[in-house]
Amino acid sequence: MRVVEHTDLPDDVESLKQLVVTMRQALAHRDLHIEHLKLLLAKLQRARYGRSSEQLDERINQLELSIEELEATQVQELPSIESPQPVKGKPVRKPLPSSLPRETVSHPPVPAESPCPSCGGKLRYLGEDVSEILERVPEQFKVIRYVRPKFSCSGCS
């Protein structure tokens, strides 16, 4: 692939589009060639552990060098176009299907009627933390819901 300087670019839009298409095809061809070499290298490495051979080691080293060389030229030849990267947030797990049977296990921290350990005031219900775990029972799956109620003291907050 030849490096195109900005002074060598044609002025008309159609020629520019054709140049972009040609460059993309060349990049795709090179990527395909790199992947082929990686697969060949993996195959040779698997064969290497089956029997030891100096010729095989030599061929593996040569393939590794050619892959490194191709990847280095690929990085050097790519124009430095900075595109905004999509901002990825915290991964969110999809909820478990509602069709699965559910079993709820409650873990109360203290009895609901007990007073606050600090001031002796009455505790009020704030909400609860719920976590679900998918459990495999032989021949079926079920969801176990662990519920942990949360309380706060109305006297001392």
- The predicted-structure confidence for 33-81, as pLDDT tens digits, reads as follows 888 888 888 887 777 665 555 666 777 777 787 877 777 776 666 555 5
- The predicted-structure confidence for 1-29, as pLDDT tens digits, reads as follows 455 566 677 778 888 888 888 888 988 88
Distance between CA atoms of residues 25 and 1, nearest Å:
10
Half-sphere exposure in the Cβ direction for 44 (13 Å, CA): 18
Secondary structure (DSSP) of 76-135: HHS-----PPPPP----PPPPPTTS-EEEEE--SS-TTSBPTTT-PBEEEEEEEEEEEEE
Share of the chain above pLDDT 70, in %: 76
- The predicted-structure confidence for 98-126, as pLDDT tens digits, reads as follows 888 888 887 776 665 677 777 877 777 77
Token output for 134: 């998918």
Structural contact between residues 108 and 149, judged by C-beta atoms closer than 8 angstroms: yes
With 0.75 as the threshold, say if the pTM is over it.
Answer: no
Per-residue pLDDT at 60: 76
Per-residue pLDDT at 71: 75
Per-residue pLDDT at 150: 83
